[in-house]
């Protein structure tokens, strides 16, 4: 039930992620994208 609450809370929200090209930032971006959340991604470069 808890996961459903999180998904409902994120519905129609935008998440800003810094460091999105590598590491935990990249993993977070992928996870949020799979849930259908709108993303704003920031990174210094394509390789990290």
pLDDT at 12: 85
What is the pTM for the complete model shown?
Answer: 0.74
Highest mean pLDDT among 8-12, 19-23, 41-45: 19-23
pLDDT the model gives residue 26 = 95
pLDDT one-digit tens code per residue, 19-37:
999 999 999 999 999 989 9
pLDDT, position 28: 96
Query: In angstroms, rounded to a whole number, what is the distance separating the alpha carbons of residues 11 and 18?
Result: 20
DSSP secondary structure of 16-37: EEESTTSHHHHHHHHHHHHTT-
The mean pLDDT of the chain is 85
Which residue ranges make up each domain of the chain? 2-42
């Amino acid at each position: 039930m808890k996961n459903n609450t999180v998904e409902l809370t994120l519905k129609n929200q935008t998440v800003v992620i810094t460091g999105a090209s590598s590491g935990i930032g990249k993993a977070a971006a992928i996870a949020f994208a799979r849930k259908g959340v709108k993303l704003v991604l920031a990174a210094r470069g394509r390789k990290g």
